[in-house]
Amino acid sequence: MKRTLAAVSLALVAPRLAVVRRQEEERRLAAEEAHWRKEEERRRKAVEAELLGAARKMTSSSPGVREQGHRAAVDTVARRGLPPEVKAWADAFKAECDRAWAEVESRRVVTEIRATQVDFQGFRRVLVNPPLNAVLQLPFATRTGYQGTVVVPAGGR
């Protein structure tokens, strides 16, 4: 009788245990999938940040910095195993930046400049004659100036 009762109880509980185990396994798999999705998104953002930093360097006015940016982009492509189209983009982008800066640099003019800026600060009270207690309000300003040679864009097309 005991065996039959245990067998019946097990027969009633076994399907429910199977459902619970299956639900636990589904939850575990969903959590693992969410983890890998987040990890993949983090990696994608890291690659984007690396390529964006390299692209910023490639837009620099300095040829050396542009070359550093191009090398950084090519290294990122090699290290991360990105498709060859990304390297082709980096090559084309650097070539375009070099062309644009060559055009900008060819249109520069060297000129002599003498610039002065005066900023009005307000009035100051000045005691002129202590026995008479005469007070004058004099304007107070700061002067900033530059005199030298500068390189400016020539402008126009």
* Strand partners of residue 86: none
Q: How far apart are CA 94 and CA 82, in angstroms?
A: 18
Q: Specify the 3-state DSSP secondary structure of 17.
A: helix
Kindly list the domain boundaries of the chain, sorted by start residue: 2-106, 109-153
Whether the model clears a pTM of 0.85, i.e. scores above it, the answer is no
Residue 126 neighbours by CB under 8 Å, 6+ apart: 135, 136, 137, 138
Nearest to 150 by CA among 101, 107, 112: 112
d(CA 63, CA 99): 11
**Tens of each residue's pLDDT in the chain, 157 residues:** 556 666 666 677 777 778 888 889 999 999 999 999 999 999 999 999 999 999 999 999 889 999 999 999 999 999 988 899 999 999 999 999 999 988 877 877 888 989 899 998 888 887 777 677 777 788 888 889 989 988 777 765 4
